[in-house]
Every structure is written in structure tokens, then in C-alpha cells.
Chains A and B, each alone.
Chain A
Amino acid sequence: MRAEKRRIALTLPAEAECIDIARLTLYGISNQMGFSYEDIEDMKVAIAEACNNVVLHAYPSDPQGTIDIEFWLNEGDLTITVSDSGTSFAYEELGELGQASMPYEGKTLDDISAGGLGIYLMQALMDRVEVEQETGTKVTLTKYRTSV
């Protein structure tokens, strides 16, 4: 792996059936970069959750919508951006960014719901998560390489 940045891009139809293509591509890239099995599993969940949000929320009336994914293969990390050009759905309504505690901590079964799980998982499984919203939504997920 060279020191300079390498970029691999992937555009998928915003359909649930295509999300596993994102996971498989991520697997190929992160495996080649030498990430551990556990890190790869973490990233697979995180990228799929970012894609889920695009499929579920970004294109309420556009069946042609796409998920644009970029993998930045950096020396010290893998950074993944998942973008859409659809409706900027309110990310904060899907869950609280920066929330560190478990969503169900101290709650009873009656109090819990599935909302916010995806965002929580992304944050818990990646080293850094950023969300930008201008035209559409862009989620940036970073996993650092732990030096061996």
C-alpha cells in the first residue's frame, strides 16, 4: 500500500437489495488493507446502516435515486463517504449524533423503540462519524488502522 491517498468509488441504485454490494466491496478493500476480522465486521455494519438510511429516507418519490460511496484508502485509516442527492432528511430525528451511551440503558422494554439504532451502531463501531447536509446527505465514516 502506497502512502498517497487512493480512492475507489461505487455508485449503487438506492435499493435494499444493493446494500450487500457495498458490504462486499468494503470487505474486499479493508481485507486488502490488512484490517482485522473484527474491524472489517464493524465497518460492514456501519456502511450498511449508512446505506439503509439512504434507501429508507433519501428518495421518497424518486425511484432512480443512487447511493454514492467513496472509499479513501489512506495510510493510517480507511475513510468511507456515503452520499445521496435526495431529500435532506433530518438526521437528528433518526438518532442523536455524539450519543455515547447505549440507547437502551436504564430503560424498560416498554420504553424502547428501534429508532436511532442505526446511527448509534455507526458511532459505536467506527472511530469517527460525521454527517453533512447540503444537497442531500453525506455521512463520513473513518476507521483507523491500528499499527501492528
Chain B
Amino acid sequence: MNRKKFEVIAREEADQHTIYVKGELDLAVAAEFRSAIEPLISTDKEVILDMGELTYIDSTGMGILIFFLKARKEENRAFAVQNIPQKIKKLLDLTGITRFLPVQDGAPGQEAGEV
């Protein structure tokens, strides 16, 4: 089973960290995702999660999102997501997580759950 089905790339910029997630975020790679974002819980810079190339997310992936959202809130630090593909958004909407996710899509500060 060597097909690389998930990839997480963290890029540090002057005023933010951007984490790019690609492929299928499921139980098999949950630990990899968690260990990539966990060190960023306390960073002073804004953390942006780019989901543009994410093709699948399961409840464990969403659980880590919730964990990170809460941890950043506790630290009073900024966290946002960007480029959510439609089928991922459907799942986030369905569970209600969207309401807690600030979306940054060329419109900083825009809240996701305004429906």
C-alpha cells in the first residue's frame, strides 16, 4: 500500500503559517495530520488551513479540526480555513462545524456560517 493518499505541507510566512492538506484525510493518516498542526497551537502568527486539494475528510479528521479550533481559541490566537471544496463543505455543513470555522477566501474575517 504505497500510494500516497494524503499529504500535509506546512509553510511559514512572515505573518502566518499556512498548512496545505491534500488527498484523503481519514483515520489512517489522522495521527500524521495531528502531529503536523499540534506544534502550531501556541504560535503568535495566524494559522491558515488550506483545503483546496482535500478530497475526503472523515469524523476523525473533523475531530482534529475541532481539537485545533478549541486549542487556538483557548490561546486566543487566530485560525482560519480557506479554499474548502464543495464536497468537503457539505460534510462540514452537515455536522455544523462550519459555524465555528472562520473562512478566509480573499475576504479576510468573513464568517462561514452565515446562512
A105 to B87, CA, bound (A): 21
A86 shortest CB reach to chain B, Å: 16
C-alpha gap A49/B87 in the complex (Å):
16
Question: 0/1 per residue, A90-108, Cβ < 8 Å to B?
Answer: 0000000000001111010
| Residues of chain B within 8 A of A118, CB atoms compared | 58-59
Question: Can you list 6 contacts pairing A with B, beta carbon distance less than 8 Å?
Answer: A16-B28, A104-B100, A107-B96, A109-B69, A117-B63, A120-B95
Q: How far is the CA of A113 from the CA of B96 in the complex (A)?
A: 12
The digit string for B56-69, where 1 denotes a CB below 8 A from any CB of A, is: 10111011101101
Choose among A114, A120, A124 the residue that contacts B63 (Cβ–Cβ < 8 A): A114
Given A102-B94, A109-B70, A114 contacting B59 (CB threshold 8 A): yes
Cα distance, A20 to B58, chains bound together (Å): 11
CB distance from B98 to the nearest CB of A (A): 9
Binding site secondary structure of chain A = helix
**B binding-site residues for A, Cβ under 8 Å:** 1, 5, 24, 26-28, 30, 56, 58-60, 62-64, 66-67, 69-70, 73, 87, 91, 94-97, 99-100
B95 to A102, Cβ gap below 8 A?
yes
Total chain A interface residues with beta-carbon distance under 8 A:
28
Whether A41 pairs with B99 at a CB distance below 8 angstroms is no
Given the interface pairs A109-B69, A114-B67, the reply to whether A52 lies near B58 with Cβ below 8 Å is: yes
